[in-house]
Structure 1
Amino acid sequence: MRIGEVSRRSGVSPRSLRYYEQLGLIASERESNGYRRYDQVAVERAIVIHMLFGMDFPREIVTSVLACTGDAPAEAHDALYAQLDRVRADLGERIETLVATRSRIDEFLAERASSAAA
Structure 2
Amino acid sequence: MAEASADQALFTYGTLQLPEVQLDTFGRLVEGEDDVLPGYTTVDVDVDDPRVVKLSGSAVHSVLRRTGSARDKVVGTVLWVTEDELDAADEYEVAVYRRVEVTLASGRTAWVYAAAAGVGA
Please confirm whether the aligned pair reaches a TM-score higher than 0.5, indicating the same fold. Answer: no
The answer to which structure has the higher strand fraction is: 2
TM-score by length of 2: 0.25
TM-score by length of 1: 0.25
The answer to which structure has the higher helix fraction is: 1
Larger radius of gyration: 1
